Chains A and B, each alone.
Chain A
Amino acid sequence: MNKIPKPSELLLRFFRWFCHPKYREDIEGDLLERFEKKVNTIGVRKAKWSFFKDVIRLFRPSIIRPLEGTYRLNQFGMIKNYLKTAPRTFVKNPLITIVSLFSLVTGIVCFQLIHVWLTNELNTDQFHKNIDNIQVAVMKSNPIADYKPFSHSKFFNMNYHEFPNIKGKLEISVYDNDIKLISQNSEFYGKGLIVDSTFFDFFDFPLHSGNDKDILTDPKNIILTKKYAAKVFGDKNPIGEAVKIECDKRGIYQVAGLLDDIPSSSSINFDFLIPRHSQQNWGKMSTDLILTDDFFNEKEFKAKIAEMGRFHPQFPESTLSCIPFSSIYFERHFDYGLFSKYGDLNNVKTMFIIALFILLISALSFANLQTTLQLSTIKNMGIRQVNGASKFDLIIETLIGRLYFLISSTIVGCFIFELIFPFYTGILEMDLDRNRILDVAGIFSVSGIIISISMFFALVQISKIETVKALKNKLSISSVSKIQRALTTVQYAVTIILMIATTVVFIQFKYMLNKDTGLIEDNIISVKLTNQIPNRLSRDEMVKERENQKKDYHFVVDQLRQNPNIVSISQGRMPISSVAYPMAWRFQSQGIDYTTENMMVVDPEYDDLFGIEILEGRFFSDSLDMSRQKKVVINEAAKKYWGIENIDTARIANQSWGDDEVPYRVIGVVKDYHYEHLSAKIKPLMLVYMRNLEENFLIRIQDGKEQECMAFIEKLFMKVNPMGSLNYAYFTDKIEAQYKKERIVSRIYLVFTIIALMLSLISLFTFALYETKRRTKEIGIRKVSGASFQDLFSLLSLSFLKTVFIAYLVACPVAWYGMNKWLENFAYRIDMSLWVFAFAGFIAAALALLAVSWQSWSVIRINPVESLRYE
């Protein structure tokens, strides 16, 4: 049989789409009839062509259907209805509504808190317009050394303007607490920067008062930060006041400008700025900063300057380079006094992951709760559908319900955020700059994201509703709760991962922080008692100052020694991170190449003060050794590192000090102690004896005599520095500060884990609530048939425990892998024992059981007569 020719389906569909529905049927009939007739008279091809022409000619205003909205005017009425019914549903299910709102708000507030911190961290220094065009000049003195900030212009007479795309140079010297500012009769230490007048071309610190940014061109001027000015001058207007500056230079300056407080997002920090050209030859080493334009080619520039320092007799092996200023905060190429803080990319990443976890958990929890809520209104939806609501209408209804959550969660979220924020910055121990409008926007959009996720699940659910079943309240619950079960499982898995992670973090930190440093830590203070002598005084003045200093020094030492409450005194630095000085050393007897090893300057009392144990040989002593002799005490790690067998014959060379010709003689070996962060392995350490009268005093006080001693030390200090104010630090405080980061991280983990656990439990609880309610009748029947309490209890509870168990199985390997990676950051680490996992599993199961069993119990207790009448 011949196939019956048919007009193009596409055209027909097009016609049906555009045609006014009232005319559709008969015109389509006409079209078809005409087509059939044409096929018989003029052939298929021509008929098709004519059909095409007909359809196109029908596409005219009087035939095309009008826009939809115009005849669906009643939509607003419907929306009004939705707006009214949504709150009724909430009032009917107060528990779920409150808990939904709670999990939503918790999620967004937590996320926003982390978000504020992250943006603050990532925006560090971004308020300087030129931040991406600033380079720090660096040099390494030999191939194995690290790059250090340096002044190429000063040492190598480098003229940066000879290079293309370089706009300016800024030389900075940093005086950190070794510069004094004297106003009338009081002295204040502070952090001063000696800078070129180009400072404000580089950095955009806002001037609070003072006219223009040319202040620094006048050598008489000094600029103070507002905070520091308040400290020095109190309420008085500082502008125009004269101050005296004392460090290795002395000079009188006039306060010509005030800077607004330095933003917390600045990585550099200072109290005052002094024009460099106000004095000749500042004693502190300076560093060059280079300002480039946007077309600066870093690679090319580095290649050009790399060897330009080698002509200098002091740096024959040097390599010059530069490092982008903006990269220093996170990459911390070196420790440099200009920077007051560094970021930690690891921390940023961890926090980011936690933020995502929290977001995920609260989104799942919310979606889960809303799914439960929707199940309770399923009959309602059925009725709506019978009355002609399309799936689209149901979606609109759900959407409007969620809009209530969006608005209320934003309001409540902002309110709570405002309340919590100060505590949060307290926990983090940092200042955060914040922008209220951005916070509100952030909270709103995160809430929007969570609600969109929940909408997705709602859509899946709505698409599955079958009207008849919904009306009978017989919606196949197993299929719907499959989604819920999956959600709960994922959520619980994430929670268990967080729990395991927190436990591991806690144990590791506890292990690390309680690890014996090998030193006495208590009652040791560091205090500056002797004055620094300014450089480049005239010869006579110098001699006089030296004399004075010596006199002061002996006076102080005598006084300290005589005090019975003082156990021991020494001079030097406290053994905390980045105090040891890396230098190039090598073990001569074996001809090994130079490597960078740590060195610390000590005096003969140092071992006694910190209780350092001598394993071999002896420590320095005033009777046998003199300051700056070529003798060295090494630690066990160094001995092992070089494989030194006999210390009497061992010679160690220092590349900068004497090299191979005058090597150091090893006189003793001390037992390893931690002089760096406890997460690092103890590295080789050389102790060298140098007496420096200006160095800080280290004083160990007898236990319980702190107050008397401090009073005594203060008096002593006032005798030597009649105008100054005493600055001191406890060793234990310094150690505390060193592990601040660890403390903060563990706190953060703990707080967010508790939140995650809470959210998960809540959604499990409500899930159980509705599940047991659904089974009330079933329980009654079972009870009548003779089921015991235990039977029913395990029946109800075990199904939930199964969810937890699956989550646990998923979580364990993930957590194990992740935490193993994390532990690799530590030289001394705990083994992840099985009981950590067992513990997390136990807690998860126990809490889940608790959440569920309350429900089960209350349902089982109901008299079967009651429960059978239920519904």
Chain B
Amino acid sequence: MGKYQLGEFEEVVLLTVAILHGEAYGIAIIEEMEERLNRKVSIGSLQTVLRRLEKKGHLTSEFGEATKERGGKRKRYFTVTQYGRSVLEETKEQRLGMWRAIPEIVFNKG
């Protein structure tokens, strides 16, 4: 496998969308990321990645209901697709495999 290598930021975004499960729209994703990762995320960079992932088929999206907030604009909720999930999992497997392959001696403080 390994057709598409996810970028670091892409991976993080994909994970965050998965975490938020059904509540993943622009601002929620940003806040979640900022909180968990302690890094600044701009709408611009996030949206670019979201659209790219959507185009590649990792994500789908649909509009929510209009509310009074946000100037009456609807939210766009993202969800991870089956394909997105498998890519994430593959990435995780790869990472774990690599972790496992590290000789114990390396991180041994003793």
B73/A26 in contact, CB under 8 A: yes
> In the complex, A385→B47 CA distance in Å?
37
Contacts A30-B43, A34-B27 hold; do A25 and B73 have CB atoms under 8 A apart?
yes
User: Does A328 sit within 8 A of B, measured CB to CB?
Assistant: no
B7 to chain A, nearest CB (A): 14
User: Does B38 sit within 8 A of A, measured CB to CB?
Assistant: no
User: Does A667 sit within 8 A of B, measured CB to CB?
Assistant: no
Q: Which residues of A contact B42 (CB under 8 A)?
A: 53-54, 57
Contacts A32-B71, A33-B70, A34-B30 hold; do A26 and B76 have CB atoms under 8 A apart?
yes
User: Does A785 sit within 8 A of B, measured CB to CB?
Assistant: no
- CB < 8 Å neighbour of B48 from A32, A33, A63: A63
Q: Which residues of B contact A28 (CB under 8 A)?
A: 70-71, 73
The SS class assigned to the B binding surface is helix
A23/B51 in contact, CB under 8 A: yes
- CB < 8 Å neighbour of B45 from A29, A36, A57: A57
User: Does A845 sit within 8 A of B, measured CB to CB?
Assistant: no
B8 to chain A, nearest CB (A): 18
Contact with A along B48-83 (1 / 0, CB 8 A): 100110000000000100000111011110000000
Q: Which residues of B contact A37 (CB under 8 A)?
A: 27
Q: Which residues of A contact B73 (CB under 8 A)?
A: 25-26, 28-29, 32
Contact with B along A27-60 (1 / 0, CB 8 A): 1111111101100000000000000011011111
A26/B63 in contact, CB under 8 A: yes
User: Does A62 sit within 8 A of B, measured CB to CB?
Assistant: yes
B: contact size bracket: 20 to 34
Contacts A29-B70, A62-B52 hold; do A34 and B25 have CB atoms under 8 A apart?
no
Contact with A along B19-33 (1 / 0, CB 8 A): 000000111001000
- CB < 8 Å neighbour of A25 from B45, B47, B69, B74: B74
Q: Of residues 62 to 110 in B, which have CB atoms within 8 Å of A's CB atoms?
A: 63, 69-71, 73-76
Residue of A nearest to B71 (CB): A32
A62/B43 in contact, CB under 8 A: no
User: Does B2 sit within 8 A of A, measured CB to CB?
Assistant: no
A32/B70 in contact, CB under 8 A: yes
A189 to chain B, nearest CB (A): 94
Count of A-B contacts judged by CB separation below 8 Å: 69
> In the complex, A204→B63 CA distance in Å?
81
A31/B25 in contact, CB under 8 A: no
Q: Which residues of A contact B27 (CB under 8 A)?
A: 30, 33-34, 37
A841 to chain B, nearest CB (A): 67
- CB < 8 Å neighbour of B44 from A29, A36, A57: A57
A26/B26 in contact, CB under 8 A: yes
A39 to chain B, nearest CB (A): 13
B51/A62 in contact, CB under 8 A: yes
B43/A58 in contact, CB under 8 A: yes
Q: Which residues of A contact B30 (CB under 8 A)?
A: 34
Point out which of B27, B43, B48, B69 has the most chain A C-beta atoms below 10 A from its C-beta: B43
Q: Which residues of A contact B26 (CB under 8 A)?
A: 26-27, 29-30, 33
A54/B70 in contact, CB under 8 A: no
A8 to chain B, nearest CB (A): 14
- CB < 8 Å neighbour of A58 from B47, B70, B71: B47
Residue of B nearest to A28 (CB): B73
B43/A34 in contact, CB under 8 A: yes
> In the complex, A479→B51 CA distance in Å?
52
- CB < 8 Å neighbour of B43 from A25, A36, A57: A57
A62 to chain B, nearest CB (A): 5
Point out which of A29, A54, A60 has the most chain B C-beta atoms below 10 A from its C-beta: A29
Residue of A nearest to B69 (CB): A33
Q: CB within 8 Å of A: which residues of B? A: 25-27, 30, 42-45, 47-48, 51-52, 63, 69-71, 73-76
Pull 7 A–B residue pairs with CB atoms less than 8 Å apart, ordered by A: A29-B75, A30-B75, A32-B70, A54-B43, A54-B44, A57-B42, A57-B44
Q: Assuming A30-B70, A58-B44, A62-B52, what are 16 further A-B pairs, CB within 8 angstroms?
A: A26-B63, A26-B74, A26-B75, A27-B47, A28-B70, A30-B26, A30-B27, A30-B47, A31-B43, A33-B27, A36-B69, A54-B43, A54-B44, A59-B44, A60-B44, A62-B47
